[in-house]
């Protein structure tokens, strides 16, 4: 149980385009989903927290207009990187939580912006 | 806010030996302490967690201890195997609030 999927696993895009990443909880209903960014050999950096049906809460320093988060259902959250630039290249990981405190992570999405 | 420090940053042990990774936290209100294992190019996988109402929890070769007074918790892996090689992250949180992660420990098991 507690499986979280992400799609796509890898994406390469041109500078200036937008990219959407999907995060799904496959066998439970996720009341809360989190989006993280991870640079090579570094820890997880929380970008935002999203609760189903409400606006995401962004961490300090994360541009909400650049990283659009939608949590339209209890099993799906999306992260859209708008007008991507090379500095947005990173490993993006989502996690999902049903009730309580346990977070389960997805496999991650490697974004490369050319 | 919460701050989590994790040590060591790298750890190399011989296969079959034990490995110990330690974390300290700053917020005494934190009551949930998970440990995640991350393999190269993959997402973190929850391997064990502990809540503040217990001092120790064990699952086969993995155990976690918590000292609330000193505000530190540790991961213990016994009889290490090559497949235990990965990056391990500790985290601390309070109830349904966000987790704060440590900096990670790169564990290498030498055959």
Contact between B36 and A105 using a beta-carbon 8 Å cutoff: yes
Asked whether the beta carbons of residue A105 and residue B102 sit closer than 8 angstroms, the reply is no
Chain B residues in contact with chain A using a Cβ-Cβ cutoff of 8 Å? 32, 34, 36, 41-46, 49, 51, 89, 93, 95-96, 98-99, 101-104
Q: What is the chain B residue with the closest CA to A41?
A: B104
CA distances (Å), origin B48, targets A17, A24, A25, B44: 40, 23, 20, 12
Q: With CB atoms and an 8 Å threshold, state whether B96 touches A100.
A: yes
Task: Report whether pLDDT(A1) > 70.
Answer: no
Please compute, for residue A97, the number of CA atoms within 13 A of its CA located in the half-sphere on the CB side: 17
Question: pLDDT band at residue A53, thresholds of 50, 70 and 90?
Answer: confident
Q: With b meaning 16 or more CB within 10 Å and e meaning fewer, what string describes B37-73?
A: bbeeebbbebbbbbeeeeeeeeeeebbbbbeeeebbb
Shortest alpha-carbon distance between residue B45 and chain A (Å)? 7
State the Cα torsion B62-B67-B68-B71 to the nearest 10°. -90
Place of tokens 């011989």: B14
Bridge partners (DSSP) of residue A12 are: A112
CA-only gyration radius of chain B, Å: 13
**Residues contacting A61, CB < 8 A, separation 6+:** none
Torsion sign, CA atoms B95, A26, B63, B7: negative
Distance (Å) from the alpha carbon of B44 to chain A's nearest alpha carbon? 6
Q: Which residues in chain A are closer than 8 Å to B89, comparing Cβ atoms?
A: 43-44
Residues 58-87 of A with CB under 8 A from B: none
The tens-digit pLDDT sequence of chain B (111 residues) is 899 999 999 999 999 999 999 999 999 999 999 999 999 999 999 999 999 988 999 999 999 999 999 999 999 999 999 999 999 999 999 977 899 999 999 999 999
From B44, B49, B104, residue closest to A105, measured CB to CB:
B44
Of A43, A97, A110, the CB nearest to B101: A43
Q: What angle do CA B34, B63, B5 make, to 5 degrees?
A: 45
pLDDT for the residue numbered A23? 97
pLDDT digits (tens, 9 = 90+) for A72-97: 899 999 999 999 999 999 999 999 99
Which of B9, B36, B43 to probe the A interface (max A CBs under 10 A)? B43
Contact A32, A51 (CB under 8 A): yes
């Amino acid at each position: 149980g507690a499986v979280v999927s992400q799609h796509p696993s890898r994406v390469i895009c041109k500078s200036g385009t937008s990219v959407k990443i999907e995060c799904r909880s496959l066998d439970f209903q996720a009341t809360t989903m989190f989006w993280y960014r991870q640079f090579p050999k570094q820890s997880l950096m929380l970008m935002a927290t999203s609760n189903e049906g409400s606006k995401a809460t962004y961490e300090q320093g994360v541009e909400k207009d650049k990283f659009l988060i939608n949590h339209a259902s209890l099993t799906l959250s999306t992260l859209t990187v708008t007008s991507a630039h090379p500095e947005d290249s990173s490993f993006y990981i989502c996690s999902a939580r049903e009730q309580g405190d346990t977070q389960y992570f997805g496999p991650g999405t490697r974004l490369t912006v050319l | 806010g919460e701050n989590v420090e994790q040590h060591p940053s790298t750890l190399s042990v011989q296969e079959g030996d034990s490995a110990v990774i330690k974390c300290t936290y700053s917020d005494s209100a934190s009551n949930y302490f998970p440990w995640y294992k991350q393999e190269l190019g993959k997402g973190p996988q929850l391997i064990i967690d502990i809540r503040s109402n217990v001092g120790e929890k064990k699952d086969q070769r993995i155990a976690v201890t918590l000292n609330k007074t000193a505000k530190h918790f540790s991961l213990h892996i016994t009889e290490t195997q090559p497949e235990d090689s990965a990056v391990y992250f500790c985290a601390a949180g309070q109830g349904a609030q966000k987790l704060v992660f440590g900096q990670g420990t790169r564990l290498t098991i030498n055959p």
